[in-house]
Amino acid sequence: MIELKNVSKWYGAFRVLDDCSLRIAKGEVVVICGPSGSGKSTLIKCMNGLEPFTRGEVTIDGISVGARDTQLPKLRARIGMVFQNFELFPHMSAAANITLAQLKVLGRDRATAQAKTDALLARMGLADHAAKFPAQLSGGQQQRVAIARALAMDPIAMLFDEPTSALDPEMITEVLDVMVGLAEEGMTMAVVTHEMGFARKVADRVVFMDEGAIIEDAATAAFFGTPRSERAQHFLSKILQH
């Protein structure tokens, strides 16, 4: 479904991504973790072409992301993305945020789009908040609207870029619950996160990155049981200490 082959990226002389290769099969949930600045966010943004890369190849469902003749908007419409800071559009209500791309990208008629939006808001437990604006919602609610916004496009895969890092602790669960639900339904997911509980529970594989390189790519049980690299062990010991 999602495939990265030898992807590298430089900012001038600084190497952000170092020869990264990764395959995510249909229905797979892959968690990407690593210390801050390790390139995880950049990597996930390469998957839908938000970050251009210097070398290598990224394909989604057989279509090359980096190719000149690829219609990036069309490709991106099929891949949902959820951001660390929610990135809801502040001048639109929750419902309008979810409806926008259905109308402007998919060309759905207003009634169909509205029905889809209502169903998703209900599923997120936010039916009463449809008319509210982002600034009137809590962080957890905003992130659930953002997930609904991505799901409204009927994506073939979902990318999550640290979806709970900007949330207060008591709101993390409500967002993770939604993500667990998605994983259990068989959604293909790439998730950058430090939530190791989530990884243990639903991830098929865990990828560990450091200094722009993929250091470890292992089945979840193997990763938590016996991480092979010293750096991954060190990272896990720090993150699981408390």
Partner 1 sequence: MGSYRWNWPILLADPYYGWIVSGFGNTCLIAVLAWIIAFPLGSAIGIARTTELRPLRFAGTAYVEVFRNIPLLAQMFLWYFVVPELLPQDWGRWVKRDMPYPQFLTSVLCLGLYTASRVAEQVRSGLEAIPRGQHHAGLAMGLTPAQVYRYVRLPVAFRIIIPSLTSDFLGVFKNSSLALTIGVLELTSQARQIEEYTFAAFEAFATATLLYCAVTGIVILAMRQVERRTRIPGTIAIGTQ
Per CB under 8 A, residues contacting partner 1 are: 45, 48, 50, 72-81, 83-85, 87-91, 100-101, 104-106, 132-136, 146, 149-150, 153, 159
Min CB(101)–partner 1 separation in Å = 4
Residue number, 90 or 225, with CB nearest to partner 1: 90
Min CB(236)–partner 1 separation in Å = 29
Helix (H) or strand (E) holding 29: strand 29-33
216: left (phi over 0), alpha (psi -120 to 50) or beta: beta
Residue number, 154 or 184, with CB nearest to partner 1: 154
Min CB(64)–partner 1 separation in Å = 17
- What is the distance between the terminal CA atoms of the chain, rounded to a whole angstrom? 36
Min CB(45)–partner 1 separation in Å = 7
Residue number, 75 or 180, with CB nearest to partner 1: 75
Q: Residue 134 carries which DSSP code?
A: G
Residue number, 128 or 230, with CB nearest to partner 1: 128
Residue number, 26 or 91, with CB nearest to partner 1: 91
Min CB(186)–partner 1 separation in Å = 22
Q: Residue 136 carries which DSSP code?
A: G
Paired residues of 191 in beta bridges:
31, 160
- Angle, CA 167 vertex, CA 242 and CA 133 arms, to 5°: 170
What gap in Å lies between CA 227 and CA 89, rounded to an integer?
Answer: 40
What gap in Å lies between CA 40 and CA 49, rounded to an integer?
Answer: 14
Strand order in the sheet with 205-210: 79-82, 157-161, 188-192, 29-33, 205-210, 213-219
Count CB neighbours of 169 within 10 A. 7
Backbone angles phi, psi at 142, to 5 degrees: -60, -40
Residue number, 13 or 135, with CB nearest to partner 1: 135
Residue number, 149 or 205, with CB nearest to partner 1: 149
Min CB(124)–partner 1 separation in Å = 17
Min CB(91)–partner 1 separation in Å = 5
